[in-house]
Amino acid sequence: MRTRLTELLNIEYPIMQGGMAWVADASLAGAVSAGGGLGIIAGGSAPPEVIEAEIRKVKEMTDKPFGVNVMLLSPNAEALAQMVVDLEVPVVTTGAGNPGPFVDKWKAAGIRVLPVVASVAYAVRLERMGVDAVIAEGTESGGHIGEATTMTLVPQVADAVSIPVVAAGGIADGRGLAASFMLGACGAQIGTRFLACEECTVHENYKEKVLKAKDSDSVVTGRATGHPVRGLKNRLTRQFKELEAKETSLEEYEALGSDRLRQAVKEGDVRNGSVMAGQIAGLVREIRPAAEILREITGEAEQLLLSAPQLVEK
């Protein structure tokens, strides 16, 4: 499959892996890149030296392109923004904020820059700043989210900008990838599906919870704080909901959330930890190698697109 995304990133399949904090390490990113997609190492809020080690590991695993996600809410964002230049990282994605202060530096270093956007206005601003493409992420996604759905956001962004658009949020199989193309995107960013791949190092309990999830098992907490987060329902999300109903102070609310993602990902405490995952978790049923997932999704999308003309009367 050749699209504007495979051309831009020099990859085989039009699929990028989501930059999931605490989850997307060298093991996952290296497997996705070696498999022909674009693997992403998540900066999250990790110290820069931790991310540097992951970058070096991916470079040892594969010569193919890979990326780093700079999470802009992190206090380490600025240090990471410089490190990707120093270590000649080929692709940068950003999330949860405005990458404006870094775009010129990254472009001057020859880095491909693909920010995540959750609105049309933001996509237009970033195109003017000179980014290479935007990732239009719908509210179906796991983790920190915006309001618009993928179905409504992607075509509106595609109409508003001339740079390539990547669809994200609620995509886990060939139907989702084919639909992304129909909405005007040239590829998809996929997170939740890669949680359940062999090379993903999250705790077994986390994977199990994703595999067992049904369509109705994700919930959004934190809307009141301005940082809404989607994750799988558990004791923690129930506690968050109780605090929200009581209109508790922001401090108390944030204290409850601190360190919870690490607790779930690393310790496997999926009752009290934050099990971030998207609405499509209900579709994820088995653990497979990343390369197989990439092949299967793209193959299924190709079959669907080849049979699409049957829908139309000649």
**Smallest gap from residue 116 Cβ to ligand TUI (A):** 4
Using CB positions, name the residue nearest to ligand TUI. 143
Q: Does 114 bind ligand TUI (CB under 6 A)?
A: no
Of positions 105, 175, 227, 288, contacts ligand TUI by CB under 6 A: 227
Of positions 9, 32, 61, 71, contacts ligand TUI by CB under 6 A: 71
Q: Does 118 bind ligand TUI (CB under 6 A)?
A: yes
Secondary structure of the chain in the HEC alphabet? Answer: CCCHHHHHHCCCCCEEECCCCCCCCHHHHHHHHHCCCEEEEECCCCCHHHHHHHHHHHHHHCCCCEEEEEECCCCCHHHHHHHHHHCCCCEEEEECCCCHHHHHHHHHCCCEEEEEECCHHHHHHHHHHCCCCEEEECCCCCEECCCCCHHHHHHHHHHHCCCCEEEECCCCCHHHHHHHHHCCCCCEEECHHHHCECCCCCCHHHHHHHHHCCCCCEEEECHHHCCCEEEECCHHHHHHHHHHHCCCCHHHHHHHHCCHHHHHHHHCCCCCCCCECCHHHHHCCCCECHHHHHHHHHHHHHHHHHHHHHHCCC
Q: Which is nearer to ligand TUI, 137 or 199 (CB)?
A: 137
Q: Does 280 bind ligand TUI (CB under 6 A)?
A: no
Q: Which is nearer to ligand TUI, 126 or 291 (CB)?
A: 126
Q: Choose the stretch contacting ligand TUI; rule: CB under 6 A; options: 9-17, 90-98, 244-252, 299-307.
A: 90-98
Q: Does 273 bind ligand TUI (CB under 6 A)?
A: no
Total interface residues for ligand TUI by CB under 6 A: 21
**Smallest gap from residue 138 Cβ to ligand TUI (A):** 9
Within 143-182, the residues that bind ligand TUI by CB under 6 A are: 143-146
Q: Does 21 bind ligand TUI (CB under 6 A)?
A: yes
- Give me the residues that bind ligand TUI (CB under 6 A), please: 21, 44, 71, 73, 95-98, 116-118, 122, 137, 143-146, 227, 229, 261, 276
